[in-house]
Amino acid sequence: MFRKNKQTTKIAIVLAFFVTLTGCAATEDSSSGGSGLPELKVSVSGLQQGNNVVLRSGQSTAANVFTENEALGITTDGTYSFGSFSSGTSYDITVRQQPVSQTCTVTEGEGTLSATTTVVVTCSSESYTVSGTVVGLYSGQSVTLQNNSGDDLTVSDNTSFSFTTKVAQGATYLVTVKTQPTAQTCTPNLNSGVVSDNVSDVSIICSYTVYTVSGSVSGLSGTLVLQNNYGSDQTLTSDGSFSFQVASSAKYNVRAKTQPNGKCVVSNGTGTTSADVDNVSVGCWVLVDGGGSSAGVNKNSTYRADNVSLHSFDNNSNLYASWSEVSQYGSISQIRVKEYDNSSWSAIDGDSNNGINLIKSRNATNPSMTDNGTHLFAVWSEDDGSGKGLIRTAVYDNTTRSWDFQNNNYQALNYSTSRSANNPQLLNDNSSLYAIWSENNGTANQIRVKLFDNSTSWNLVDKIGDNTTGINKDTSKNALNPKLLNFNSEIYAAWSETDSTASQIRVARYNNSSSWTFVDGNASTGINKTTGKNATDPAMAVLSNKLYIAWSETNADNRTQIRVKSYDGSNWSFVDGGNATKGINKDYT
């Protein structure tokens, strides 16, 4: 182990660690070694700006933490010192961590100190060749290729090619056709990527037979640039068609090079040509929240906004959004509401520092909206001042453009206001308004449901024996995140409920009178793909006379999958592929 003198020890105290697993941040050495002891130095050159290299002197006191005598983190060229040591101390300078896309080499880094020694460390950028083959080129023809819009290379035969200029490790390459041969079309394949080694699989496919790869764009607002195989750019500013020319047997890859104000997604954009392709489609989403700026529809874009809810009303002529947003005054979460008339957004929550909370100084979260045919309603969970959630509801007065709490005489919907309630949702069923939420009864969270009398009262419709319990399958178990939906003229509720082993997706049907019936098998487990795995956060929709429920469920690999089932009124069927471990996730891994 190195022996350090008093001066060296003081330096160790002053210097900050570069990073725990690497070493200390080094400062360039400007000392004259006044201690009289030999000094161990390194001279670093060729290090690129923004990179760093970590050097070790040969010994350490711990597995991962080093002092400045043992490891240095260096970010710029220069001479740096490990410190002064007794004559006869051995050293072995090595690279502990290489810089990105560079290799640093130590010259004569091992030895024994007898005098001040400077070890040379040279860093250089690794670079690699980009090469490939040309096929299908007719005799007497030639094609001119480019890499990264330069380094022109003319090929006059079906042979391999290699660009003269190498590409640095970590940099991108893009091989394109600059000049086509006469009466032929050459299409580059496997022509773009990031260099990590020599690239040799670029192919240029030439043919007299040329096919079109075409399609259409819908929903475009702004400017979209499409390209095929990272070239042949086409600019579109409105809905319409596009077309690319591709050599026979060549691959095509249509992608969005530049997005408009929103995002466009390409479908059926890849394949190999053996005939004309005309089914490529590009669907575009348009931002209606202010466009390309970083601000959305928040009241104050510098504060967090969560738990958004959307609802269309007024014969679908207006869209309403509600969410929970932290106020700039007091950091209290307020329920904000805005109206969208298919052109612009207008605040209908008073547009002040506070939202529509009943008590403005209390946090409010998880809003939901619906209407009863004549009025817009909102419901949310609002803190009672002691950390318990109260289910609040309000109705919007279109005339005064204000929110009224008289629909429940300013009272919370909770069965017991001394217990916490959360995650409410509203449902309009033939002008009858229902609210569902999760409420703790002192033992477990219960799923509670109330019906509005279209006047000033909300009445429980979840009574199964005892008002203190909800519609849970097992009222001694926690039930969370309920949802309501109308299907086949009846109301269905779905939620996540634990069975002591895992959370189950439970589903029950209300007969519009006085009772709930389980339609999930009515056993101890729900409709999960694997009943021993947690399933949470159900969502419901109706399509083609079937009820669909989607949820998040952990599989055997402990990866969360999106599972989907349909219900025809009698039977449940998986519509997510039915695989034991894979749902409809984009990426299973």
Say if residue 324 is in the same domain as residue 415. Answer: yes
Q: Give, for 543, the enclosing helix (H) or strand (E).
A: strand 535-543
Convert the pLDDT of each residue in 396-445 to its tens digit: 988 888 999 877 778 999 999 999 999 999 999 988 999 999 999 999 99
Among candidates 558, 448, 554, 435, which has minimal Cα distance to 505? 554
Phi and psi at 557, nearest 5°, equal -90, 10
Among candidates 2, 58, 7, which has minimal Cα distance to 33? 7
Burial of 405 by CB count in 10 Å (0-12 exposed, 13-18 middle, 19+ buried)? middle
Domain-ending residue, one of 71, 102, 125:
125
Residue type, 321: A
Domain-ending residue, one of 86, 110, 125:
125
Say if residue 371 is in the same domain as residue 512. Answer: yes
Q: Return mean pLDDT, the chain.
A: 88
The reply to whether 467 falls in a domain is yes
C-alpha–C-alpha distance, residues 371 and 324, integer Å: 20
C-alpha–C-alpha distance, residues 308 and 331, integer Å: 18
The reply to whether 560 falls in a domain is no
Convert the pLDDT of each residue in 203-215 to its tens digit: 999 999 999 999 9
The reply to whether 459 falls in a domain is yes
The reply to whether 329 falls in a domain is yes
Q: What domain range includes position 437?
A: 305-525
CATH of the domain at 149: 2.60.40
Q: What is the average pLDDT across 93-103?
A: 87
Say if residue 425 is in the same domain as residue 501. Answer: yes
Say if residue 318 is in the same domain as residue 436. Answer: yes
Say if residue 72 is in the same domain as residue 189. Answer: no
Convert the pLDDT of each residue in 450-481 to its tens digit: 999 888 889 999 976 566 789 999 999 999 99
Say if residue 403 is in the same domain as residue 485. Answer: yes
Q: What is the average pLDDT across 514-527?
A: 93
User: Which strands form 503-510's sheet, in the order they lie side by side?
Assistant: 479-487, 490-498, 503-510, 516-518
Q: What is the pLDDT of residue 33?
A: 52
Q: Give, for 10, the enclosing helix (H) or strand (E).
A: helix 6-14
Q: If DSSP codes are grouped into helix, strand and coil, which group holds residue 375?
A: coil
Say if residue 227 is in the same domain as residue 312. Answer: no
Among candidates 122, 3, 109, which has minimal Cα distance to 58? 109
CATH of the domain at 402: 2.120.10.80
The reply to whether 576 falls in a domain is no
In order of 247, 471, 556, the CA distances from 493 in angstroms are 56, 9, 28
Say if residue 380 is in the same domain as residue 468. Answer: yes
Find tokens 């289910």 and name the residue. 391
Say if residue 86 is in the same domain as residue 197. Answer: no
Q: What is the average pLDDT across 103-125?
A: 89
Say if residue 276 is in the same domain as residue 317. Answer: no
Q: What is the pLDDT of residue 492?
A: 98
Say if residue 334 is in the same domain as residue 473. Answer: yes
Q: What is the pLDDT of residue 543?
A: 96
Q: How many domains does the chain have?
A: 4
Domain-ending residue, one of 506, 525, 544:
525
Q: How many degrees, rounded to 5, is the angle at CA 193 between CA 186 and CA 158?
A: 30
Q: What is the pLDDT of residue 424?
A: 97
C-alpha–C-alpha distance, residues 448 and 461, integer Å: 8
Say if residue 189 is in the same domain as residue 250. Answer: no
Which sign does the torsion angle of CA 328, 333, 339, 344 carry?
Answer: positive
Convert the pLDDT of each residue in 230-258 to its tens digit: 999 999 999 999 999 999 999 999 999 99
